[in-house]
Chains A and B, each alone.
Chain A
Amino acid sequence: MTRSSFMTRKELIGFLILAAVIFLLLPAMLDSFRLNLFGKYLTYAFVAVGLALCWGAGGILSLGQGVFFGLGGYCMAMFLKLEASTPENTAIQSTPGIPDFMDWNQLTELPVWWQPFYSLPLALLAVLAVPVVFAFIIGFAMFTRRVGGVYFAIITQAFAAILTILIIGQQGYTGGVNGITDLRTLLGWDIRTDEAKTTLYFVNGVLLFAVLLIAQYVRKSKLGRLLIAMRDQEDRVRFSGYNVANFKIFIFCLGAAFAGIGGAMFTLQVGFMSPTLVGIVPSIEMVIFCAVGGRLSILGAVYGALLVNWAKTSFSEAFPELWLLGLGGLFIAVVMFFPNGLAGVWSEQIEPRLTKLSKRSDTATPKRAAERAPAE
């Protein structure tokens, strides 16, 4: 294994297995309704991958990833809402042609900052740019002042709370608690049909792999190694002459961009966006996905997002009044027994045994120590 190689054989196999699960296994096993649910779960995986980079590799624990997920989602929702609010569709309103919630709040014209969202390219740009700019501002303000660790986590949580209150308070402009609902078409393509949802599922999968490859590239690059160095001994990196803040800002912005893409895909899959996805609770849930999957592994993060959400859905269907307890038990068990999450279980328990097995059959394979990163 050379240090510069982009992907070891082991990692390649991991990627291929995930690809097989997402593109072959799930579509073959599930009906369109369940597949659509997994499509929704996959949108959370974008956030989890970003978190695996920020938290697992960089040691930056953000409890406000919902902010970026929400911003990306809202940018997409604004475009779709404008497309749905044609004067014909909204003829019943006092001011036809503006989104319904604006009409309910006595707005008589579209606010200026909504105007760019008539254009899909601008909206797509905003899906990436708005979360990144926001992340840059937070990151710049925090990291250049060397705010880190728990303090940073608390501040990001505060941002999640602030943004939720802002969105709810400005309901004439944002749809308030209800969010932006009743989204119908994307450039005339009905996103509500089963076929559209299946198509979106695959688009989701492809985008997720693009994001995973970027994440893999970052981890394997010099930047990735610096991040790990910073996580473990920030001062030594600083004394070696690196500007620690810049690296942190970059990785935080990258995580935000991933979350923004996830948010936009969420809006397309689910058909609405609301402040419940921006606040503290979903932000913490996203951290849980990452923790269950294993914060040190980007693939683990994807599995974590899928598994936790799947468990959430199935528990709540089976035990509508008790499911939260079951889910809580799952999290406690993971934290107590598998501190490195699913990926840790794989690399510490299953993989060594597999290697042992294959060694027995093929003694030529050199023994490879399981890669372990120290716990924070």
Chain B
Amino acid sequence: MSDETPKKKSTGLSRREVLAGGTALSAALFLPKSLKAADFPTAEINTTGLAVTDDTVTIGILHSVTGTMAISETGSVQAEKLAIDQINAQGGILGRKIEYIQEDGASDWPTFAEKARKLLVNDKVASVMGCWTSASRKAVLPVFEQHNGFLYYPTFYEGLEESPNVIYTGQEATQQIIAGLDWVNQTKGAKSFYLLGSDYIWPRTSNKIARKHIENFMEGCKVVGEEYYPLGHTQFNSVINKIRLRKPDVIYAIVVGGSNVAFYKQLIAAGIDPSAEKPIVLTISVTEDEIRGIGGENIEGAYACMKYFQSLENENNLKFVEEFKKMWGDDIAIGDVTQAAYLGPWLWKAAVEKAGSFDVDKVREASPGIELTTAPEGYVKIHENHHLWSKTRVGRAQADGQYEVVFETAELVEPDPFPEGYQ
């Protein structure tokens, strides 16, 4: 695995981290596959009164299964349940089977806070897999910090956060943006960019980082327009006219949710066919899940910058896709976030086993340096800032709703939630 070890950067990784990572790796190699519960008396591995018995441990799943976000979050719930099933089939964690309590955040931020409190205070769950939108994460964050819960958050997001009570299994903004912009500049010769997005913190912060990178780090490149539309907006004709007028090389689109359908259909109607690449359409907000809504024929040829695509052809992913389909039916699409959600229970398992305890403080301490070699996206590793080292990949949308991977970074990209020079 030495070739996969994260590249050392002058600003980032310290020698100590590399060593710590190495120790974790060797520890992981020598751990037996299934641990016996009897070797770990409940009183010793659970000193803070969590819901751990002699043969079970209870965790929470907190996503929206009703409301506008349900369509996005369902995949995450499915992935988490799959991971839990698989872990249980291997004998569980420290000999204990995982049981879960599922709560519905109902696409409503106060409800998320209420349910988070319920899971932590009432149910004493050992960890929570959950949340999707930034708003829901912001709503539950004080609850997790106050009650010392532990959350695995799957979505790619804007960064600017580093909570001791959260492991961010998705990419923060720089991991998703910078490599993609460099790629489109170097291989396609793109020089001018039109930024647009839905109007909330993730697209705005992402575009801010994109703009800084384009203007300060990419020679001769410029931003020719930047615009935002309310969530749910469906009239993109005016911006499409401006795009035709200013003729950018790249449309950098961070439109989310249902607006995507209108946006891509209107692009084609206006004669901007993504597959013609004039201009190139590059997005960071359309996964395989969204394409199901947009329709493959409407977005064919557009590029998306993610860390995972369902079409990845490594052994881990082939197995993951197969088991996912076995559990949830052939008629599913697995997007970037779904894969990140799948990592949550596995990363938690690894951290608990490394710590030899379910105590949140010990799991937190054990988390940095935890590695997964079985992740569908390939090898990942938890950074000291609680985000994952992962690769950035660019995929080209196909008519069948899948992405063809056209580029991936050679090395893992370091997570940098507070990027200097991009604020």
User: A: which residues have CB within 8 A of B?
Assistant: 31-34, 36-37, 40, 92, 94, 101, 104-106, 165, 168-169, 171, 176-179, 181-184, 192, 270-272, 274, 276-277, 313, 316-317, 320-321, 323-324
Known contacts A182-B138, A274-B110; A317 and B205 CB within 8 A of each other: no
13 sample A-B contacts, Cβ–Cβ < 8 Å, listed by A number: A32-B121, A92-B418, A94-B423, A104-B205, A106-B208, A168-B200, A181-B138, A192-B142, A272-B109, A272-B139, A277-B110, A320-B103, A321-B65
Known contacts A105-B204, A313-B114, A321-B66; A181 and B108 CB within 8 A of each other: no
Judge whether B268 is part of the interface by a CB distance below 8 angstroms: no
Contact, CB under 8 Å: A171 / B201: yes
Contact, CB under 8 Å: A316 / B135: no
Contact, CB under 8 Å: B102 / A169: no
Min Cβ gap B121→A in Å is: 5
Instruction: Tell me what chain A mostly uses at the interface: helix, strand, loop, or mixed.
Output: helix
17 further interface pairs, Cβ-Cβ under 8 Å (given A183-B142, A316-B115): A40-B114, A168-B230, A168-B231, A169-B199, A171-B199, A177-B201, A178-B139, A178-B200, A178-B201, A181-B139, A270-B113, A274-B110, A277-B110, A316-B106, A320-B103, A321-B65, A323-B104
Contact, CB under 8 Å: A168 / B142: no
Report Cα–Cα, A183/B231, bound state, in Å. 26
- Interchain CB contact (< 8 A) of B201 among A32, A176, A323: A176
Contact, CB under 8 Å: B66 / A33: no
Convert B111-126 into 0s and 1s, putting 1 for each residue whose CB lies closer than 8 angstroms to a CB of A: 1011101100110000
Minimal Cβ-Cβ distance residue in B for A266: B110
- Interchain CB contact (< 8 A) of B66 among A106, A270, A271, A324: A324
User: B: which residues have CB within 8 A of A?
Assistant: 65-66, 102-104, 106, 108-111, 113-115, 117-118, 121-122, 133-135, 138-139, 141-143, 146, 158, 160, 199-201, 204-205, 208, 230-231, 418, 423
List the A side residues contacting B109 at CB < 8 Å: 178-179, 272, 274, 276
List the A side residues contacting B231 at CB < 8 Å: 168, 177
List the B side residues contacting A169 at CB < 8 Å: 199, 230
Min Cβ gap A363→B in Å is: 51
Contact, CB under 8 Å: A274 / B135: yes
Report Cα–Cα, A276/B204, bound state, in Å. 20
Known contacts A94-B423, A181-B141, A272-B139; A320 and B104 CB within 8 A of each other: yes
Report Cα–Cα, A36/B205, bound state, in Å. 35
- Interchain CB contact (< 8 A) of A316 among B104, B200, B230: B104
Minimal Cβ-Cβ distance residue in A for B146: A192
List the A side residues contacting B143 at CB < 8 Å: 271
The 5 closest A-B pairs by CB, nearest first: A320-B104, A177-B200, A181-B138, A178-B135, A33-B121
List the A side residues contacting B118 at CB < 8 Å: 33, 317
Known contacts A92-B418, A178-B201; A272 and B114 CB within 8 A of each other: no
List the B side residues contacting A183 at CB < 8 Å: 142
List the B side residues contacting A36 at CB < 8 Å: 117
Known contacts A33-B121, A104-B205; A270 and B110 CB within 8 A of each other: yes
Instruction: Tell me what chain B mostly uses at the interface: helix, strand, loop, or mixed.
Output: helix
List the B side residues contacting A179 at CB < 8 Å: 109, 135, 138-139
Known contacts A177-B201, A192-B146, A313-B114; A320 and B135 CB within 8 A of each other: no
Minimal Cβ-Cβ distance residue in A for B63: A320
Report Cα–Cα, A169/B418, bound state, in Å. 24
List the B side residues contacting A192 at CB < 8 Å: 142, 146
Contact, CB under 8 Å: B142 / A272: yes
List the A side residues contacting B108 at CB < 8 Å: 276
List the B side residues contacting A106 at CB < 8 Å: 208
Contact, CB under 8 Å: A104 / B114: no
Report Cα–Cα, A276/B64, bound state, in Å. 14
Report Cα–Cα, A32/B133, bound state, in Å. 28
Minimal Cβ-Cβ distance residue in A for B102: A320
Contact, CB under 8 Å: A176 / B142: no
Most B CB contacts (10 A, CB to CB) among A101, A105, A192, A270 go to A270
Report Cα–Cα, A163/B74, bound state, in Å. 30
Contact, CB under 8 Å: B204 / A177: no
List the B side residues contacting A323 at CB < 8 Å: 66, 104
Contact, CB under 8 Å: A182 / B141: yes
Min Cβ gap B421→A in Å is: 12
Contact, CB under 8 Å: B106 / A101: no
Most A CB contacts (10 A, CB to CB) among B109, B117, B204 go to B109
List the A side residues contacting B139 at CB < 8 Å: 178-179, 181, 272, 274
Report Cα–Cα, A145/B199, bound state, in Å. 36
Minimal Cβ-Cβ distance residue in B for A315: B104
Known contacts A169-B230, A182-B141, A277-B110; A321 and B104 CB within 8 A of each other: yes
Contact, CB under 8 Å: A272 / B113: yes
